[in-house]
Structure 1
Amino acid sequence: MTVPTDFSYSVVIPVYNSQDVVGSTVERVVEVFETAGLRYQVVLVNDGSRDGSWDVIADLARRSPHVVALDLLRNYGQHHANLAGLRESTGDYVITMDDDLQNPPDQVLLLIGKAMEGHDLVFGRFESKQASGHRRLGSRVISLINRRVFEQPRGLAVSNFRILRRDVVERICGSRTAHPYITGQALMSAHSPADVLVRHDPREIGTSNYGLRRITSLVLTILFSYSVFPLRAAAALGFGVAAISFLLGGFYLVRSFFVDSAVPGWTTIAVLLAVLNGVVIMLLSMLGEYVVRTLNAVSAVTTYHVSERVSS
């Protein structure tokens, strides 16, 4: 029987403007793993914080052999920070969680327990998510997109609180995309995803950094980086306009044989504009398809830069 002590674990925590709480988060993570007798590593990734978060996590890394701190050159976003942490991780399993204690560290053991049943990817399903209205709405929209784009199974809940087996992590780290989206990439890279009911605590300090702008940006990133739906929709619209233009051009051409135009040459101009604009729209739609395919093929693997790494 598979038991948790047979494996090592890396906990990846993106850090952004959380100097007042990240220390407590790490202390509780360490306490959970020490008490359970599990081999562990904590990877803290400072994502361009504007407060003293880097000083806090760098000091933690200097004092503990289990902690590694990465300082990104600037704020790249949560998914880039998670990717940096995944590439730094060494554990057989990797857990990703937030830095604000809304993902209670003791709930990590529930993720591990579910993973021991043979699942290579386990998400935390929150009993009651403590989030604002626009975040809950954004989560529903993203969930719909996940089902369409990444074939998220119905009934499976996804979140940033998750555990990934090493082979899933390697597939994510090896993917060539300029816009990482860890949840979607995990769904594409896993064979047996599952979820487990976990607690989600209210935020004790500060406010969420995931505002409406960031949620909208994430939705657009998913749509334009992992789906051809916007392009195909634009192409369909383009071909529809082109068809109408051709029909309109034909109508004016036939009409000119029976009805004289009040303005000499007007029919010729109308027909030419309708036909040529239709052709241009079709060509732009096809070119857009090739541009997207080319962009996906040449996207750089490194989408962030680490300015400093600290470990004991």
Structure 2
Amino acid sequence: MTPINEIPSLSIVVPCYNEEEVLPETIQRISATIELLIEKNKLNSSSCVFFVDDGSRDHTWEIIESHAQSNSFVKGYKLSRNRGHQNALLAGLHNAKGDILISIDADLQDDTSAIEAMVDEYAKGHEVVYGVRSKRETDTFFKRYTAEAYYKLLAKLGVELVFNHADYRLLSRKALEELKRYSEVNLFLRGIVPQLGFSSTSVEYERHERFAGESKYPLKKMLAFAVEGVTSFSHAPLRFITGLGFLVSLFAFFMIFWVLAVKLFSDNAVPGWASIVIPVFFIGGVQLLSLGVVGEYIAKIYMETKSRPLYTIEKEV
């Protein structure tokens, strides 16, 4: 690893969706962090923060515009419609300037003081620095348990992930340019970034409660994002249903022998529908489940073949 000699410029990318309640505080804290690092000669004066409005329905964009006029650190992009967190984040990363880029959510649950530690690790020569949650005490038991179980499940499926890391990370310009080569529509950045292969390290921080507003990831979106992560990086579900199909076929084969044995060699054969209906329902359920999993992969192929733009920037400030 070669130490970085020149003072780098930093761009912080913050995707926003209906964040009017927390945004003024977010702008104040991130601006203060940038100013402090410039005073310490860890960043140069062209450093800034890019807020990406992901089609918000509240006054998020008006707040970004207002602060951009009075705060030299603040810049912003407004997407033409809501495209989802990952696309909004990618829009910011693709268009922001700077030698290094840090992505962080607007809700202030990720500790902004970890930004300095990330910059220090970059100065040591690391191209990627992951923000890793040391504690999740502010999460509910259900969210903490399911999140950690999900990371472990993906690891078992062969997906390379950093445990307890979301989208709080530093990327060097070199790493970002490599990331731009990934043109897939089905985005799961926390699975893509480890595949870049550059020198990386982690910085731990304590996760806080959301400063204001409501979570933009209800259970429905969390489940959809979880499915996205599995199907974008692992074909294990397809192999699983192949194995399941083999087991069901084996079970049906033994059922045939059992029915014939009872019919031919005993007087216990009772006319009824149970021995017919139960296997039919069981096999039918497995078939529908298998078709659903296969359909999920086919849908991803369909989305990729259309090659539609991931986002459209309507305004820039």
TM exceeding 0.5: yes
Instruction: Answer whether contact 2:237 2:293 (CA < 8 A) is retained.
Output: no
Give me the identity figure in percent.
Answer: 24
* Aligned pairs (5 A) from 1:15-34: 15-34=16-35
Q: Which one-letter code corresponds to 2:131 in the other structure?
A: G
Deviation at 1:97, TM superposition (A): 0.7
Q: Which amino acid aligns with 2:160?
A: E
Residue identity opposite 2:233 in structure 1: Y
Other-structure match for 1:267: none
The answer as to 2:135 corresponding to 1:135 is no
Q: Deviations over 1:269-311 (max 9, x none)?
A: x9xxx9xxx9xx99x9799769947944971555533251222
The counterpart of 2:189, out of the listed 166, 182, 186, is 182
Question: TM-score scaled by structure 2?
Answer: 0.77
The answer to whether residue 305 in structure 2 is matched with residue 304 in structure 1 is: no
1:22-101 to structure 2, matched below 5 A, reads 22-37=23-38, 38=44, 39-63=46-70, 66-101=73-108
Give the secondary-structure state (helix, strand or coil) at the position aligned to 1:174. Answer: coil
Distance in 2 between residues matched to 1:203 and 1:292, nearest whole Å: 35
| 1:220/1:111 CA distance change after superposition, 3 Å | same
Cα gap change, 1:73/1:145 in structure 2, threshold over 3 Å: closer, same or farther?
Answer: farther
Moved >6 Å (runs of 4+): 250-259, 284-291
Task: Encode CA deviations 1:2-23: one digit per residue, 9 max, x unaligned.
Answer: 3585322211101122112212
User: CA shift at 1:60, angstroms?
Assistant: 2.9
How many pairs does the alignment contain? 302
User: For structure 1, which segment, 195-204 or 248-257, has the greater mean C-alpha deviation from structure 2 after superposition?
Assistant: 248-257
Equivalent residue for 1:266? none
CA RMSD of aligned residues (A): 3.8
Q: Secondary structure at the match of 1:161?
A: strand
For 1:105, what is the secondary structure of its paired residue? coil
> How far does residue 92 in structure 1 lie from its aligned partner after superposition?
2.1
Q: In structure 1, how many angstroms separate the alpha carbons of the residues matched to 2:15 and 2:296?
A: 33
1:242-261 mapped onto 2 (5 Å cutoff) = 242-246=249-253, 248=255
Q: Secondary structure at the match of 2:166?
A: coil
Q: Name stretches of at least 5 consecutive residues in structure 1 with no aligned partner.
A: 264-269
Which 10-residue stretch deviates more, 49-58 or 126-135?
Answer: 126-135
Q: Supply the AA of the counterpart residue of 1:304.
A: L
How high is the TM-score relative to the length of structure 1? Answer: 0.78
Amino acid in the other structure paired with 2:195 = M
Secondary structure of the corresponding residue to residue 47 of structure 2:
strand
Q: CA deviation at 1:162?
A: 1.2
> CA offsets per residue over residues 46-80 of structure 1, 9 Å max, x none?
12322111111133345555433222233332222
Is this contact kept in 2: 1:47–1:75, CA < 8 A?
Answer: yes
